[in-house]
Structure 1
Amino acid sequence: MTTRPVRVALAASVRSLPRGPGLAYEPKFDGHRMVVLRTAEDVVLQARSGRTVTAAFPDLAAAARRLPARTVLDGEVVVWHDGRTDFALVQRRAAATPARAPSLARALPASYAAFDVLELAGLDVRAQSYERRRALLVDLLVPLGPPLQPVPMTTDPELAQTWYDTLPASGIEGLVVKRLDQPYPSGRRAWRKLRHTSVRDAAAVGYTGTARRPLALVLVLPGEEETPLLSSPLAPGLRADLAAALRDAVAASPPGRTPSARTTAGQPAEPPTVTAIGLGETPYTPLDPPLAAEVRHASTRHPPPEVLRLRTDL
């Protein structure tokens, strides 16, 4: 068994609920993707990027030690608050320092919504069908109980539609659809996801703050006539992710050019501005090329868009 970053399965967006024989439907939780690796010696928790986040989630690490050695799970870490999942609280947990993490785990306990098993007691099961892996997952986790739990699943499209229509009040983003006969598609966008329209991808064309301490993103949302919008303040974990992405972009740029460099007649151009509610004209640093981000936003009549994550996979 290796603890190098796991290439997780991905999902392609669809606009309507897929129907047909041999399909399974799962609710899409509003949390952070996490791979749980129960090694022969201990537990390693990995973010989707491959970054180790074990120290930030000591409660989940402790629960995962009850798993058989050499077991790997794929799923989502969520934090429940007032009867719904709270993405901001998940971000707070993920950004915790090792010193702060134990107290946060007591105040904001995390749950792990597992939706797949990749390795079980040393046996690689990724080549087996989803239907078989699902049975193994349920048999493994149900006896253990919370905070490690299998996500709900149904093969009934009508029940899935009911979930889609009624569960957003609980923080459910939408549905993930899988084929029952499908092996685990490592690194491929072979699953399908139906998300509520308030969650979508946007182009991040700039940022406020500094490259080392970015504060917010300037976004262009599809269907908004390319009018830039200033996001709500980024959560600490996202600020760190953006700063890292900016460092990587600078390192990859040709000599003498940075991704945000713009000049006029050889002189630095005046910084562009974005109109922000309550702030007026706010200067920002442009990004060229833009980054991709997943945001939650219904329309320009609603509060500023909330950045959920950077889409470094695009």
Structure 2
Amino acid sequence: MEHPIRVALAQAVRALPTGPGWWYEPKFDGHRTVVIRDAETTRLQARSGRIVTTAWMDLAHAAMALEPGTVLDGEAVIWHEGRLDFGAVQSRASASPARARELARTKPASYAAWDLLAHPELGDVRTRPYVERRRLLLDVLAPVGTPLQPVPATDDVEVALVWYEALQAQGIEGVVAKRGSSPYRPGRIWQKVRHAETVDAEVVGYTGSARQLRALVVRLPDGRVRLSQRLTAALAAQAAAHLRAAEPGGLARTEDGDAYTAMPTGLVVEVLAGTTRHAVVTVTRLR
């Protein structure tokens, strides 16, 4: 299996697709994480391809209970007082290894697994249909237990709609729909309905310094280049780790005349869809 592993994504839609062959899963609010159980150790990979094991050592230790050769796709999440705490996830992801270990003691992570990419005996199973991968996923996780657990899944759209309405209070973002016959491949092969809709944007620069970011400059899906609102401390720290590893860039200006440092980062962020009509955008998370 190639590394980094390119992950499947979901396309935002206004309503869940219906009809025979569709399956539905609640969408957990956390950080996309691939768990790779090697012969002797476990590695965790972010959606971007970065290895993020040190941020999630509690999950890495738990994943040692998996059979070698297992690769999972899912979400690293943190539950706090009965609901998902995305702020705690952001803090963990941007923390130093020592700080991450400290945070893990007070707010341990869980792993919401929704797909199996490699099976310890069958090898790469990405070409197999979703329903078969789902069955294999349940088999692989059955002897492991918490904090690695499969997400719920149903082929009943009425149940999915109940999840969409009833689980919002627990921090569930929405519902993802998947074809039961579909293989796993990179790109937007699934569909999602969310309570707060976002779009992906490419980071093309920043304001402030690479160590003390104020805002990001992003290229929106329609090609416009816009300055974000000021980042939260957690987002700034997380983005700074990416920028320090990128090639230094030169000065540039957005279409609105805002000066910024331009650089190719390879970084993708989510921004609130409702803000993209205006001169600034709100970054919600790094992808």
> What is the TM-score when the length of structure 2 is the normalising length?
0.83
Runs (5+) with no aligned partner, structure 2? none
Please tell me whether the aligned partners of residues 201 and 219 of structure 2 are also in contact (alpha carbons under 8 angstroms). yes
Q: Deviations over 1:123-166 (max 9, x none)?
A: 22112111011011112213321100001111111111121223
Q: Deviations over 1:58-79 (max 9, x none)?
A: 1111110000111111110001
Please tell me whether the aligned partners of residues 218 and 230 of structure 1 are also in contact (alpha carbons under 8 angstroms). no
Please tell me whether the aligned partners of residues 77 and 89 of structure 2 are also in contact (alpha carbons under 8 angstroms). yes
- Name the CA distance, whole Å, in 1 between partners of 2:121 and 2:79: 32
- After TM superposition, the structure 1 = structure 2 runs for residues 95-134 of structure 1, keeping only pairs within 5 Å, are 95-123=94-122, 124-134=124-134
1:133–1:204 CA distance, 2 compared to 1 (3 A): closer
1:56–1:197 CA distance, 2 compared to 1 (3 A): closer
- Name the CA distance, whole Å, in 2 between partners of 1:204 and 1:7: 19
For 1:268, the equivalent position in structure 2 comes to: none
Give the superposition deviation at 1:227. 9.3
Please tell me whether the aligned partners of residues 34 and 46 of structure 1 are also in contact (alpha carbons under 8 angstroms). yes
Tell me which amino acid in the other structure corresponds to 1:285: Y
Taking only aligned residues, the RMSD between alpha carbons, in angstroms, comes to 3.2
Please tell me whether the aligned partners of residues 24 and 177 of structure 2 are also in contact (alpha carbons under 8 angstroms). yes
Please tell me whether the aligned partners of residues 216 and 227 of structure 2 are also in contact (alpha carbons under 8 angstroms). no
1:117–1:227 CA distance, 2 compared to 1 (3 A): closer
- Name the CA distance, whole Å, in 1 between partners of 2:96 and 2:264: 32
- After TM superposition, the structure 1 = structure 2 runs for residues 1-314 of structure 1, keeping only pairs within 5 Å, are 4-123=3-122, 124-185=124-185, 187-201=186-200, 207-217=206-216, 230-233=229-232, 234-244=235-245, 247-248=246-247, 250=249, 258=250, 260-262=251-253, 285=260, 293-296=269-272, 305-309=282-286
- Name the CA distance, whole Å, in 1 between partners of 2:268 and 2:96: 27
1:15–1:80 CA distance, 2 compared to 1 (3 A): same
**Aligned partner of residue 252 in structure 2, secondary structure:** coil
- Name the CA distance, whole Å, in 1 between partners of 2:181 and 2:50: 31
Q: Deviations over 1:218-255 (max 9, x none)?
A: 67989xxx9966244234213323555xx3473xxxxx
Runs (5+) with no aligned partner, structure 1? 251-257, 264-270, 274-283
1:157–1:93 CA distance, 2 compared to 1 (3 A): same
**Aligned partner of residue 59 in structure 1, secondary structure:** helix
1:289–1:139 CA distance, 2 compared to 1 (3 A): closer
Q: Deviations over 1:270-294 (max 9, x none)?
A: x956xxxxxxxxxx62759998631
- Name the CA distance, whole Å, in 2 between partners of 1:69 and 1:125: 15
Tell me which amino acid in the other structure corresponds to 2:153: M
> What is the TM-score when the length of structure 1 is the normalising length?
0.76
Which structure's CA Rg is the greater one?
1
**Number of residues of Structure 1 aligned to a counterpart in Structure 2:** 275
Please tell me whether the aligned partners of residues 207 and 260 of structure 2 are also in contact (alpha carbons under 8 angstroms). yes
1:242–1:165 CA distance, 2 compared to 1 (3 A): farther
Tell me which amino acid in the other structure corresponds to 1:48: R
